[in-house]
Structure formats: structure tokens, C-alpha cells
Chains A and B, each alone.
Chain A
């Protein structure tokens, strides 16, 4: 992200960017998936610096775990998914020469979400994090398995549940829920649900592509 765009993004997140420039930034963002990713990270770092950490929380993507199940690796979801997710997340961060302190915040934020299932495990994990944040190669970072590793859920059925639930969901979370279903990352889950609905059985899931490789080929 160039300095100029960084300033634009910063001004935008502070609500200070004039609408003409916002329009331009928006066009750039919709055209450029890489810039969009940077924008997400920048927004996150901004929030972390402001102390509102956990914004755009860096969790193990639900879809990523679902994808592992589709790839026929139903067991041990935490580790493979955790490895898959931060890879494309981390690399650019390391490359943007962010201060180590900020990285620490980001790692902790991510880790807290990642182990959300085992909240009791969090203090131990955070301690480990802070130490690891100083290591220059964060890509090698691995997630300690939470005390109670969440078991895998069958994707298609769960997506059907989410869809049925969204109908009754009150509150603004409903909008978020639909946005989640719209997003590319939910592909596998949604796709499986659709395939199941269409064919009347749960078999045709092979056509779905893992989210990670899809994220890598984000050509517009």
C-alpha cells in the first residue's frame, strides 16, 4: 500500500476523507483484492492502536475449517485450519514493517479469537504469543490445541441451519449474517448446502475449492 493510499485509508477510517476521494478509494478497493486485504489489515491495526483490539477479529475462519472437512480431513481441525488461515494473513504484515508491538497486539487478538472455544486456555496462550511475536518468522507460528478441541461440523447441514436461523435473527447481526453468507469465504459451506438442496443428498461436494487457494487466486 503506497503512502498516499495509506493516508487515504487512515483518513477514511477516521471519517475525514472527502467524498470525492472516498469514491476513488472505493473504486480502487473493489478493483484490487490485494489492496482490499491491506485495507482490512490496516483497519485492524488502526483499531488495535486505538485500543479497540479484536476488530475484524482474526479468527480461524469457519469456512476454512469447513473446507478442511470437505477436503476429507475431518479430524484435528484446529491445527490445519490455523496454519492455513494466517499464511496469507501474516506474510504481508511481516512485509509492511509494522512495529513489533503492533504485531504483538495483532497476534493476541487473533489468538484470542482462535481459541474462543477454550476460553480457559487463553491466558497460557497469550503468554506464549507475546514471546512468539518477537520471533522474526511469524509464519511458523502454530496454535496450541485448545483444551477441548472443537469437533468438526458437517458443512452443508450447518449452512442450512444458519440460513434458516437468519430468518428469525433480530438485530443488526442479521445483516452481518447475510453478509457472511454472501462472502466468498463462505463458498464451500454455501455451495455444499446448495448442492445438497438441489440433488437431495449430501454427496456432491467435490466441486468446492478450498478457501485458501481461492484467496490466493483473487484475480478480479
Chain B
């Protein structure tokens, strides 16, 4: 009996001693005093030094994109550290190109704040916030695409430019899983500032899409942050060519809503590519846009329609349809959204038709 007590006493006192040693040394050694984080020369944050730059910025509700939660494995949390970031660490180099290293780009999760530090982040990240929402509706669009409607809690509002995206938080839903953020374009009507709609296609084996399709139920709480991105409608009067298939419709739908709200009279044509007729969706809504907007046309293009599907419209690739129909490419602007392959193919066709590169805006799923 006494040996049990002695062993407990000895081991716990050694443990307590070591813990005490660490706590005391942390107080005296790892005490970096008050440091200032200067952002873009405009905003100063006072912090007690010692933690990573990313954690301070998150505390200040400045959301730097980060998928791994500061463990230095995703490489998303890049920002420019002009001064005071210390030496580049070996944990950062695999994620930074030579130009980025020369440009003082760092991974903010690896930079520790030890002294006053001067950083630069894109202005639009200031408006990025975290939102807690309720999933209010899930609509089947095709066999592998759904529309998710989220209502932002507590009469909070999100201000975004149509075309931007948010990052959806995925909790751990299977053993051994991890929390991730995945980016999805906003598909809703910008008038409803407390509604976020996303159009998501199921990616087999995808962490977030599997969660959305198999675990997320109406009434569940979800977290998302945003808005991010610079994909948006330009201010010109040039005729618009939209090209997007599948879930790439999301930002286009948002832009179409915006055009309807602002009574935008620009000519617009939306080429939607699909493999089969059953992959087309929201056709009623597109017909409604054709009625509501001054000069809008929706062109469905089906690559290989089944015989019993009785498809009357364009067949073949979406790029072939564009090539066939588009006559005044040099006067138009193009907005593309989809896989990198589809965007590359579309850019090739558009430039061949005479559109200059700077008139082609795109949002790649990458």
C-alpha cells in the first residue's frame, strides 16, 4: 500500500516540478513584452508577443485563408512581412517560390511575433468575417449537384460583391478526420444579405462535399467565413459571355441576380456545358432571367445526349458552341467559372476568336 502512495507521490511531484519549471521559464524567458502589429500602415494591433502572427490576426477577426489551422501544412496563409518577421524558417520554404521568398512573403502561421512587425495584407481581407448560419434548405439540382441555403444567425449581414466566394467550415464527422475549410462561390441574390446559397457538386472522396451531401441536414448549424476573391462583373457596357458548367453556375447566378437588381441592360449570353441532358439544371430560373433581363440568352450545350433524351439544342463541347455562335468576340467580355481544364480550353477558343486576354475573367476551381 505504501509503495503505491510513494510512487504516486514521487511521479506526481516530479511532474509538478517540471511543469512548474516550464511555467516559470515561460513567464520569464518567453516573455516578449508588448509588440505592435502594423497592418498596411493603417491599422495597429497591440499584442503580448510570443504566438504566431496568424493567431493574433484571427483573434482580431482578420481572416487569413488557412486550411490546416496553423500547422504549416497547407501553405494558404501567405502574407507579406515587410519588417520584423525574423528569418525564413525551413518549415516555410517548401511552400514559397523563389520570387515569393525575395518578396518577403511568409507563412503567417510560422512567423512568431517577437517584436514590432510590419505586414501587408490585401485590403479586401479586412471585410472577411466569420458567420454562424443555419442550413435552411437543401435542393437537389441534379444527381450529384445540390443547392444549400444557409441563413445567417442573429440578423447579422454579409456584404459581398457578386462573384466572390466563402470558405465553408467542415467539422470532423468521421473518426480520424480533420477540420477543413473549403471554398465555394456564393450563388444567392445579393439583396438578401443574410442568406448564403451555395451550389455544390459531390466530389467522390471529397472531405467537405461528402459532409454536405451525407451528413448536413436542414436545421444544422454551419460556420463559414468570407467573402474572398476578385471575380466580379466589370463596369463597362461590353456584351458579356458567361461560360460555366455544373456547379460553376454559382457565381454566374449571383451576377445575374445582381444584373436584375440593378437593371443592368448589357447584352449577356450564358453558355452552360453538360455531358447529358439530365445534368442541366435551373432551366426555369434561366428562362425567368431571359424574361427579366433586357438582353439575356441561356444556351445549354450537351456533349453527348442520350437518344431518348430528345435534345434539340447544341451538341458537342461548350467551346464548340461558343466558336460557332460568337461573331464579335473582340467587343465582348468573358466570365468563366469551372475546372482549370475547361477554363484553359475556353481561353484558347476566345483568344482565337479575337478576344484580348485582359477581357477574360475567370474563377478556377483549381
Decide if A and B are genuine partners: no
Q: Identify the A interface with B (CB < 8 A).
A: none
Identify the B interface with A (CB < 8 A): none
